[in-house]
Structure 1
Amino acid sequence: MEPSVAVVILNWNGKTWLERFLPSVVQTDYLNLQIVIGDNASTDDSIDFLKNNYPQLTILENDKNYGFAGGYNHILSRVKADYFVLLNSDVEVPTNWIKPVIDLMQSDSTIAVAQPKLKWQLQKTEFEYAGAAGGFIDLYAYPFCRGRIFDTVETDNGQYNTTIDLFWASGAAFFIKSSAWQQVCGLDADLFAHMEEIDLCWRLKNLGYRVVCCADAEVYHVGGGTLNANNPYKTYLNFRNNLLIMQKNLPKSEAYARIFVRIWLDFLAWLQFLMKGKFAFAFAINKAHLHFLMQLDNTSKKRTTHQVPLLQHTGVYTESIVWAYFVKGIKKFNGLKW
């Protein structure tokens, strides 16, 4: 018998995405599969649509919108399976997208998390911004992907058709062993949304688990389906949460030095927004830093005894990705020296 898998789609007013992409999910050919729609207190007619058109699916409802992180925590506490797949509602999948990933994860008990290759649904020859062929970070916890550095997204020419260890896997199509999820108590609900999957992977890596990309499977993500990249609130969440997860997961001996440098690098982004007249985005960075400082005590209580020096992890670029990209002009992952 194949391991049991629960594909869990968290929905919030996403009827349009469900209409468009749920048909591909229900055609998945994995046998031991349940599909769960977790609803974050939607105010559209998502639930009526699901009940009328997909009565075979499990629908679990939250009493309010807990965000991406808290929403999944509440839903997955009611789901039983060997593996959870957190799948965004704006993802199209081929029929055989699950088994290659599960086979890979079954091959090694230390693999806790995996992702398939993420391609752009609107142009399927290109990688997708949110995950591409797997996530990495640099010395100052700037996230980037194999196939996407900052705003440069590569075309998939087979250059990343290898299964490798990552630092983080994309939350758009996030495979995790349920035992690992339960061991670390899922996502950090205080993050609300954005960077929560990086934090989860970081906590698991600090415990000795592996995070991998399975290049034998791919899915197609629209991206920005729930919060557009041009929304200052997304900027706020990204900048705030990046600092929070550094404080949580880095050893004390290096946490505050790296955070200090990171804040100054954020200041350069703040200046860039100002010069472009994007005042709302500049203010979002100010707000992110203020809220990071206000949460220092609360975040320190989340630290565990399992912090590992950053450079002992796989998936860490040992230089500054900001310097490599903006000064040295390295725009593609294969151009980086590891």
Structure 2
Amino acid sequence: MPSVALIILNWNGYHDTAPCFESLRKSRGVNFEIYLVDNGSANKEAARLEKEFCDLPLRVIALPENLGFAAGNNRGLEIALKAKAKYFLLLNNDTIIPTDFLKKMVTAMEADPTLGVLGAVNLYEADRKRIWYTGGYLNRSTADFTDPRHNTTYIPSDRIEPTDDVAGSSLMITRTALEQVGLLDERFFNNFEESDLCLRVRDAGYRIACHMGAFIYHKVSAATGSTGPAKIDINEYFFHRNKVLFLRKHWSFFAGAPVLAWHSIMSLRRYRYARSRGNRAAPLILWGLRDGFKQNYWKGSLPAIIEWRKSFPQQPVKA
């Protein structure tokens, strides 16, 4: 069975990462190596994880600061590519994997060389029979990805379901596809980078799909956060900004102009709704839209936003 390189990001998340590693201890059927990218954690927890899980094939890559999802994963991928793994799995640290998960994913990839990216069914960790995400279908009129199985009851099957994107929390990509299309676009920082990668892989002639029989448990709230009325968190900034970049990359000027106008209108509607609900973080939506048009990418206005959000102590910042 070919080997897999697992890229796992950690940012002040020991209590999420440790259970993930515990589940990896039980994984069977596939040779794998873990590349733990510590995204500038403040409490030396990467060293703690390395010590506690010394029995795992674990390599720690310590970064001086939080570089975001795209750049953090890229630092891991750059090192992993120097080894001999045939497949690379981006795996969120706030996930739990079943014993046979890696074997199912690799077996499916080996059976179909046209697959470039294969995703897994993401189930809510708190409700293990309910689907959070399988894969999205792209509406090119709105640039929205819709998963018709979201929040439905999970019924396992052996189907390899074609999709337009998969969740970055459990994204497996072949070495050949990755070497052909390149790494994640670091301008996104967080949000849309996996969708962008999937479209680039598809444009290179590979298929994108979700393995409906391979699932993980995902602590979704730990990754997204929630900040009161209308659930505005700091990821809203990246969503509204990065959708502009996503459109500029994958639509022509004339085809993208009405879609960009629609995105702007919907962003303004969401802003007005959030304000009407008393959400003081609503300006993040406009902040993101503005930076998208200004092409202020990567961290963008994140440092300024974090300083601004310090006035909301009851609403923790999630980056």
- TM, length-normalised to structure 1: 0.80
Relative to structure 1, the CA distance from residue 260 to residue 161 in structure 2 (aligned partners, 3 Å threshold; closer, same or farther) is farther
Aligned amino acid, residue 38 of structure 1? V
- Alignment pair present for 1:261 and 2:262: yes
Shift of 1:226: 4.1
Paired residue secondary structure (1:224): helix
What's the counterpart of residue 156 of structure 1?
Answer: 154
What's the counterpart of residue 22 of structure 2?
Answer: 23
State which of 164, 169, 172 in structure 1 corresponds to 2:166: 169
Distance 2:293 2:147 in 1: 28
What's the counterpart of residue 127 of structure 1?
Answer: 131
> Residues 217-256 of structure 1: matches in 2 within 5 Å?
217-230=214-227, 232-256=233-257
RMSD: 2.0
State which of 102, 125, 143 in structure 1 corresponds to 2:106: 102
Where in structure 2 are there 5+ consecutive unaligned residues? Answer: 299-319
How many residue pairs get matched? 288
Query: Conserved in 2, the CA contact under 8 Å of 1:62 and 1:75?
Result: no
Aligned amino acid, residue 30 of structure 1? G
State which of 140, 143, 163 in structure 1 corresponds to 2:142: 140
Aligned amino acid, residue 217 of structure 2? Y
Query: Conserved in 1, the CA contact under 8 Å of 2:267 and 2:286?
Result: no
Where in structure 1 are there 5+ consecutive unaligned residues? Answer: 300-338
* 1:208-254 CA distance string (max 9 Å, x none): 22110011211110113244143531111111111210111123331
Distance 1:44 1:182 in 2: 35
Distance 1:227 1:121 in 2: 14
Paired residue secondary structure (2:234): helix
Distance 1:229 1:213 in 2: 27
Aligned amino acid, residue 272 of structure 1? Y
Paired residue secondary structure (2:101): coil
Runs of 4+ with deviation above 3 angstroms: none
Relative to structure 1, the CA distance from residue 175 to residue 133 in structure 2 (aligned partners, 3 Å threshold; closer, same or farther) is same
Aligned amino acid, residue 102 of structure 1? V
- Alignment pair present for 1:187 and 2:191: no
Relative to structure 1, the CA distance from residue 179 to residue 64 in structure 2 (aligned partners, 3 Å threshold; closer, same or farther) is farther
Query: Conserved in 2, the CA contact under 8 Å of 1:119 and 1:219?
Result: yes
- Alignment pair present for 1:38 and 2:37: yes
Distance 1:143 1:253 in 2: 21
* 1:277-325 CA distance string (max 9 Å, x none): 22422x11111111011118x89xxxxxxxxxxxxxxxxxxxxxxxxxx
* 1:177-202 CA distance string (max 9 Å, x none): 12222322211111111111111111
What's the counterpart of residue 328 of structure 1?
Answer: none
Shift of 1:270: 1.9
- TM, length-normalised to structure 2: 0.84
Paired residue secondary structure (1:118): strand
Paired residue secondary structure (1:212): strand
Aligned amino acid, residue 42 of structure 2? T
Distance 2:75 2:239 in 1: 23
Distance 1:229 1:82 in 2: 37
